[in-house]
């Protein structure tokens, strides 16, 4: 045991050389070159390496009941635990204790601090030698991997203590709009023959799950050709009534914009764009929506009106007028989503939904976006709702504490006043 831990303390270059001498060349290990500055001090003995994590590193965190003290499982076992416990993310890094994100909060484990050799073994479970080498050259990596029970979205990063990874758990079973208790207006948007639908929200807000449910509704109910272009592919849809094709950046196409341009020649009815990141992608998405395609895209914005502001902000002032006209003509709706903890220790979605009615089109063309939100507040019959109205509904149903709703609101004073008026 002592010899094993001393071996872990060596740099990966030394480890690679030793293994090459003792057991022949290992192509995976040869591709992996850890920076020499981590961890600052490797464990010196078996007993030290299995010591409980320090109080300072876990203060304020809830110990994970499913962890086995002193034992670091392989990556598949870690992801399986996260999947079974309903966690959304796994956080692993050299010099750190493995952690999970549970319903929005970080949760610690009793596993030992991760050393370079353990991290290396985890990488080798999900990445090829070339991908590992790419990460250590560029210091960044995005990808995906399918375990037998779930997919994960992979993000690798370098940090002060060494390399780290964040794995987002993506269930293989896609929940329906009904199971997610999403508003009926989402079915209406999914049934449209053409136009642009934007699903927005911060990271971890559940927008990918909502978008997957909308694509699933089309797949189950309409004979269409659905083409997704993602970085990476998250939810995997099997063709049902619709024909579904997935394309992933780096695997099936070299450039996102090229794939989107080519999509217009691949006879799709529905195009899913993983994320609209720049003006070029936005312009192609609008073009596709205006030429007979139903286009879904995502943005990292927190409200429907801010989404429109963000889209218009991608263009120079002299292009604003023509862009407002194009957007008003192609946009079907914006679904901004957030997640909030409920009284039963789960999470519920709240929404800020804009449906681009004739009145909204007129205001968007004129740039009077403050008036669009006023329309949303009084147009529930069109399926519209503001975030505060959605949060107030959750409070009225007893699913969310008033204090939690006010804390989540972007207009907390307005919501607090509405809650007081109900009492």
Confirm whether 390 is domain-assigned: no
Instruction: Answer yes or no: do 160 and 192 share one domain.
Output: no
Q: Would you say residue 261 has pLDDT above 90?
A: no
The per-residue pLDDT for 423 is 63
The per-residue pLDDT for 203 is 84
Confirm whether 393 is domain-assigned: no
The per-residue pLDDT for 398 is 94
The per-residue pLDDT for 260 is 87
Beta strand segments in 65-162, E: 89-93, 99-102, 105-108, 140-146, 150-157
Range in 62-66, 140-144, 363-367 the model is least confident about: 62-66
The per-residue pLDDT for 68 is 52
Instruction: Answer yes or no: do 157 and 190 share one domain.
Output: no
The per-residue pLDDT for 414 is 94
41 band by pLDDT with thresholds 50, 70 and 90: very low
111 band by pLDDT with thresholds 50, 70 and 90: very high
Residues 6+ apart with CB under 8 A from 82: 89, 90, 100, 167, 169
The per-residue pLDDT for 258 is 86
43: tokens are 């464990």
Looking at the DSSP bridge assignments, the partners of residue 164 are: 93, 157
Count, residues in the chain: 423
The per-residue pLDDT for 20 is 40
Confirm whether 150 is domain-assigned: yes
Instruction: Answer yes or no: do 111 and 219 share one domain.
Output: no
Instruction: Answer yes or no: do 162 and 253 share one domain.
Output: no
The total number of structural domains in the chain stands at 2
Q: Would you say residue 108 has pLDDT above 60?
A: yes
The per-residue pLDDT for 69 is 53
Strand 347-355 to 243-248 pairing: unpaired
175: tokens are 């929940």
- Quote the percentage of the chain above a pLDDT of 90: 69
Instruction: Answer yes or no: do 255 and 346 share one domain.
Output: yes
Structural element, H or E, at residue 400: none
Instruction: Answer yes or no: do 246 and 311 share one domain.
Output: yes
Rounded to an integer, the average pLDDT of 160-181 is 93
46 band by pLDDT with thresholds 50, 70 and 90: very low
Confirm whether 421 is domain-assigned: no
Beta strand segments in 42-160, E: 62-63, 89-93, 99-102, 105-108, 140-146, 150-157
What's 19's domain CATH number? 3.30.450.90
Mean pLDDT of the chain: 84
Confirm whether 85 is domain-assigned: yes
Confirm whether 340 is domain-assigned: yes
Cβ atoms 145, 248 nearer than 8 A: no
Q: Would you say residue 30 has pLDDT above 60?
A: no
The per-residue pLDDT for 256 is 82
The per-residue pLDDT for 70 is 59
Q: Would you say residue 43 has pLDDT above 50?
A: no
Rounded-to-integer distance, Cα 152 and Cα 130, Å:
19
Structural element, H or E, at residue 94: none
Assign 350 to helix, strand or coil: strand
Residue-wise pLDDT tens digits, 376-388: 999 999 999 999 9
Assign 136 to helix, strand or coil: helix
Phi-psi category of residue 162: left, alpha or beta, with phi > 0 → left and psi -120 to 50 → alpha: left
Looking at the DSSP bridge assignments, the partners of residue 143 are: 154
Instruction: Answer yes or no: do 165 and 208 share one domain.
Output: no
The per-residue pLDDT for 58 is 31
User: Which of the residue ranges 71-80, 118-127, 315-324 has the most confident prediction, judged by mean pLDDT?
Assistant: 118-127
What's 189's domain CATH number? 3.40.50.300
Of the CA atoms within 13 Å of residue 368, those in its CB half-sphere come to: 10
Strand 99-102 to 105-108 pairing: antiparallel
Cβ atoms 147, 75 nearer than 8 A: no
Range in 66-75, 353-362, 393-402 the model is least confident about: 66-75
pTM value surpassing 0.85? no
Instruction: Answer yes or no: do 108 and 209 share one domain.
Output: no
Burial of 268 (0-12, 13-18, 19+ CB in 10 A): buried
Annotate 204-273 with DSSP letters as a single string. TSSHHHHHHHHHHHHHHH---EEEEEESS--SPPPPSSSEEEEEEBTTTBS-HHHHHHHHTTS--SEEEE
Rounded-to-integer distance, Cα 376 and Cα 394, Å:
18
Burial of 398 (0-12, 13-18, 19+ CB in 10 A): exposed
Residue 80 domain boundaries: 2-171
The per-residue pLDDT for 251 is 85
Residue-wise pLDDT tens digits, 280-331: 889 999 999 999 999 999 999 999 999 999 999 999 999 999 999 999 999 9
Rounded-to-integer distance, Cα 366 and Cα 136, Å:
49
Q: Would you say residue 79 has pLDDT above 60?
A: yes
Residues 6+ apart with CB under 8 A from 137: none
Instruction: Answer yes or no: do 33 and 138 share one domain.
Output: yes
Is cis: bond before 284, omega within 30 of 0?
no
Angle at 378 between CA 411 and CA 186, to 5 degrees: 90
Q: Would you say residue 2 has pLDDT above 50?
A: no
Rounded to an integer, the average pLDDT of 141-155 is 93
Assign 89 to helix, strand or coil: strand
């Amino acid at each position: 045991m002592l010899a094993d831990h001393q071996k872990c303390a060596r740099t990966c270059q030394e480890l690679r050389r030793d293994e090459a001498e003792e057991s022949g060349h290992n192509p995976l290990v040869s591709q992996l070159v850890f920076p020499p500055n981590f961890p600052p001090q490797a464990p010196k003995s078996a007993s030290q390496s299995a010591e409980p994590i320090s109080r300072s590193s876990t203060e304020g965190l809830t110990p994970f009941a499913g962890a086995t003290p002193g034992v670091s499982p392989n990556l598949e076992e870690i992801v399986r635990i996260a999947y079974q416990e309903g966690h959304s993310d796994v956080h692993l890094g050299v010099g750190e204790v493995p952690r999970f994100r549970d319903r929005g909060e970080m949760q610690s484990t009793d596993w030992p601090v991760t050393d370079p050799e353990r991290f290396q073994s985890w990488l080798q479970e999900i990445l090829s030698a070339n991908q590992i080498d790419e990460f250590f050259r560029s210091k960044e990596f995005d990808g995906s991997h399918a375990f037998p029970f779930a997919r994960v979205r992979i993000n690798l990063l370098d940090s002060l203590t060494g390399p780290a990874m964040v794995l987002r758990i993506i269930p293989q079973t896609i929940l329906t709009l009904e199971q997610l208790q999403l508003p009926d207006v989402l079915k209406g948007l999914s049934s449209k023959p053409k136009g642009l639908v934007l699903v927005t929200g911060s990271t971890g807000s559940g927008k990918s799950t909502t978008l997957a449910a909308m694509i699933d509704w089309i797949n189950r109910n309409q004979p269409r050709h659905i083409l997704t272009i993602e970085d990476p592919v998250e939810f995997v849809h099997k063709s049902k009534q619709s024909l579904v094709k997935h394309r992933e950046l780096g695997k099936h196409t070299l450039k996102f914009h090229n794939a989107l341009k080519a999509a217009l020649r691949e006879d799709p009815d529905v195009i899913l764009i993983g994320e609209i990141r720049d003006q070029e992608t936005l312009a192609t998405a609008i073009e596709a929506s205006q030429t007979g395609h139903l286009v879904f895209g995502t943005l990292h914005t927190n409200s429907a009106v801010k989404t429109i502001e963000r889209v218009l902000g991608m263009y120079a002032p002299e292009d604003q007028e023509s862009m407002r006209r194009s957007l008003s003509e192609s946009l079907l709706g914006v679904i901004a989503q957030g997640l909030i903890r409920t009284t039963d220790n789960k999470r519920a979605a709240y929404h800020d939904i804009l449906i681009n009615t004739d009145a909204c089109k007129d205001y968007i063309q004129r740039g009077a976006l403050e008036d669009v939100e006023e329309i949303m507040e009084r147009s529930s019959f069109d399926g519209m709702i503001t975030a505060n109205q959605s949060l107030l509904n959750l409070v009225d149903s007893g699913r969310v504490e008033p204090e939690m709703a006010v804390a989540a609101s972007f207009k907390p004073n307005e919501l607090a006043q509405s809650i007081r008026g109900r009492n």
